[in-house]
Amino acid sequence: MTLYTIGFCGKSAEHFFTLLREAGVRRVLDTRLSPAGQLSGFAKARDLTYFLTALCGIEYHYLPVLAPPADLLAGYRNKQVAWPAYELIYQRALEDRAAENCVSGDFLDGGCLLCSEDQPARCHRRLAAEYFKVHHPDLAIRHL
């Protein structure tokens, strides 16, 4: 069972869709707070749904249960919340939302958690993937 993660910033559309296709991703699981944001370029939810299907045959699903709380994200962006605190608060939010009950292991398998951050080190998609690994020990995580 494999769960992928990817961020679209810093990637051309060609590189982004090639990574997904070559990895064998079956569904993109959008974890962003604002999937229709103006700065999303080719990754705006409406356009992304079309591109994923037309170019790769990949499903698109928006999972707001995995988005960071708005106040947490704003605090982090404004440097009022340090990364270690962000990690703890986001993990607590996943627990409070019982995210493991909202997304099945079968749905995660072949899925790819999407966010904007280029690298997973300081991104909530990595934290969400690690959260699911606790609930599905056979889950392998692969960052694209």
DSSP state of 78: T
Task: Give the pLDDT confidence score for residue 38 in this predicted structure.
Answer: 61
Please give the residue range of the domain that contains residue 136: 2-143
Q: How many residues does the chain have?
A: 144
d(CA 9, CA 27): 19
pLDDT in tens, 36-77: 776 667 888 889 999 999 999 999 999 999 999 999 999 999
Number of domains in the chain: 1
Please, what's the b/e burial string for 26-65 (b: 16 or more CB within 10 A of its CB; e: otherwise)?
bbbbbbbbebeeeebeebbbeebbebbeeebebebebbee
Residue 99 belongs to domain with CATH number: 3.40.1010
Total-model pTM? 0.93
Q: Which residues of the chain have pLDDT under 50?
A: none
